[in-house]
Amino acid sequence: MSEHGQGATIWLTGLPSAGKTTIARALARRLAEEGHRVEVLDGDEIREFLSAGLGFGREDRDTNVQRIGFVAELLSSHGVKTLVPVIAPYADSREAVRKRHQAAGTGYVEIHVATPVEVCSERDVKGLYAKQAAGQLTGLTGVDDPYEEPVEPDLRIAAHEQSVAESADAVHALLAARGLL
Ligand SMILES: Nc1ncnc2c1ncn2[C@@H]1O[C@H](COP(=O)(O)OP(=O)(O)OP(=O)(O)O)[C@@H](O)[C@H]1O
Ligand SMILES: [Mg+2]
């Protein structure tokens, strides 16, 4: 273990506009203030570089998640708290990432940011729900593309019923309880 504490991957899965990025950034701030080494692997940034050229079909979504999982595991194995606010709609893709972390002995927790689709489509941060409704986009997760809810996440957050700070605190408490801080 480094002087910054233990590494771990904290994967935040959930629908578009559920609050994954917002909660991850709040938690990242808090962890950094506490002296932990922190990295955020955000879905949008990853698709610009590491996964440039990948689409949104099942296979490419899986490839995207496996690539992110690979990088997260590398970072976490070197003592970084690696926050991953990425939709990751397929259960088997998420499971593969978890298994690789377990095989390497690297901490891993899955957080389901469980904001219902009605609230997400109301927020519609990137205008995707509106575009889908207008017929300008297809394959939107949770609307006309699958989202396989985690059956047994390490933590499920009703992110629409509590503040961002409360959600970040809940994840922080989970890390503490698991001995991952
Ligand atoms: N209680 C809350 N928890 C989290 N986010 C909230 C909450 N209330 C309102 N919001 C707002 O909801 C929006 C969530 O957007 P955010 O970009 O975090 O979603 P996301 O899950 O990362 O979506 P995407 O998959 O499209 O990247 C933000 O504008 C945030 O300020
Ligand atoms: Mg996001």
CA of 80 to the centre of ligand 2 (A): 20
Residue with CA closest to ligand 1 atom 10: 19
Residue with CA closest to ligand 1 atom 23: 17
Residue 42's pLDDT is: 95
Structure tokens at 130: 């509106």
CA of 85 to the centre of ligand 1 (A): 11
User: Measuring CA to CA, which residue among 18, 51, 64, 56 is closest to residue 138?
Assistant: 56
CA triple 77-80-82, angle to 5 deg: 100
pLDDT means over runs of 10, the chain (181 residues): 79 98 98 98 92 95 97 97 98 98 97 98 98 97 98 97 98 97 93
Residue 60's pLDDT is: 97
Structure tokens at 153: 């996440």
Is 128 annotated in some ligand binding site? no
Domain spans in the chain, listed from the N-terminal domain onward:
8-177
From CA 147, how far away is CA 62, in angstroms rounded? Answer: 13
Per CATH, the number for 8-177 is 3.40.50.300
From CA 18, how far away is CA 87, in angstroms rounded? Answer: 9
Is 20 annotated in some ligand binding site? yes
CA of 104 to the centre of ligand 1 (A): 32
**Inter-axis angle of helices 58-77 and 91-104, to 10 degrees?**
20
